[in-house]
Amino acid sequence: VWVMPINLIGVCILLLIHLKSSAIVGILVMVLLMPIQGWIGKAISRLRIQTVKTTDRRVRLMSDILSAIKLVKLYCWEKSFSVTTRDIREEEVSWLRKAAYLKGLNFVLGSASSGIALFSTLLVYVLLGNELTAAKVFTGLALFNQARLPLILFPLGIKFLAEFVIAFKRLQSFMQREDLVDARVVTEPEDIA
């Protein structure tokens, strides 16, 4: 992860040497797409939090149902609990679907950013009156593709960081709970001879 900025700086320098000032446009396109990817990553993180909360509700409900299954069967509450469980699961799937759409959008932006940057750079290069040769195109393509990997890994890094923070907070919350004392445990008096 720490190599990504070094890689991008090297690619930018080579682009400026090879395609002159028109490379600034492509670099700006890449730089402008990164905050968009960051924003999408944060939105994915918020959706992940909602998904976890909904999953917790569903698991808690299923645990309650299973612990009281005799009462559920005795009073014929299966349909009622089935509807409630289905509704919670549909909500959970809805959060997952929204997150999947955003993940897909973020991946497409990361993958297409080098192509968009190359196109805009070459367009400005030609508009500035320079002659476009195959060597310029393929060298620019290679350099922008070299920058593509860090741009793809950037949103993945944000996603993994967000999921780590969520998991860490959940684990921290669990670890800071009070210990449960089981009232059924009988302790022996210490002074028995």
pLDDT digits (tens, 9 = 90+) for 90-142: 999 999 999 999 999 988 887 888 889 999 999 999 999 999 999 999 999 99
Summarize the confidence of residues 54-76 as an average pLDDT.
90
pLDDT at site 190: 61
Q: CA–CA separation, 31 vs 157, rounded Å?
A: 17
pLDDT at site 24: 94
pLDDT band at 178 (very low <50, low <70, confident <90, very high): confident
Cα separations in angstroms, 102 against 63, 114, 138, 165: 31, 19, 32, 19
pLDDT band at 73 (very low <50, low <70, confident <90, very high): confident
pLDDT band at 181 (very low <50, low <70, confident <90, very high): low
Give the residue, 151 or 72, on which the prediction is more confident. 72
pLDDT band at 166 (very low <50, low <70, confident <90, very high): confident
Lowest mean pLDDT among 39-53, 75-89, 112-126, 179-193: 179-193
Contacts of 51 by beta carbon, 8 Å cutoff, 6+ apart: 92, 95, 96, 99
Vertex 164 angle, CA 90 and 180, to 5°: 80
Tell me the per-residue pLDDT of 2-50, one tens digit each, with 9 for 90 and over.
677 788 889 889 999 999 999 999 989 988 888 888 899 889 989 999 9
58 pLDDT above the threshold of 90: yes
Summarize the confidence of residues 176-187 as an average pLDDT.
68
Q: Closest by alpha carbon to 19, among 111, 116, 124, 112?
A: 124
Cβ-count burial 57-82 (b if 16+ within 10 Å, e if not): ebeeeeeebeeeeeebeeeeeeeebe
pLDDT at site 35: 84
Q: CA–CA separation, 70 vs 107, rounded Å?
A: 48
Are 30 and 154 contacting, i.e. CB atoms less than 8 angstroms apart?
A: no
Contacts of 40 by beta carbon, 8 Å cutoff, 6+ apart: 102, 105, 106, 109, 155
Question: Terminal CA-to-CA distance of the chain, rounded, Å?
Answer: 65
Q: Closest by alpha carbon to 45, among 177, 168, 183, 175?
A: 168
Give the residue, 158 or 36, on which the prediction is more confident. 36
pLDDT at site 139: 93
pLDDT band at 153 (very low <50, low <70, confident <90, very high): confident
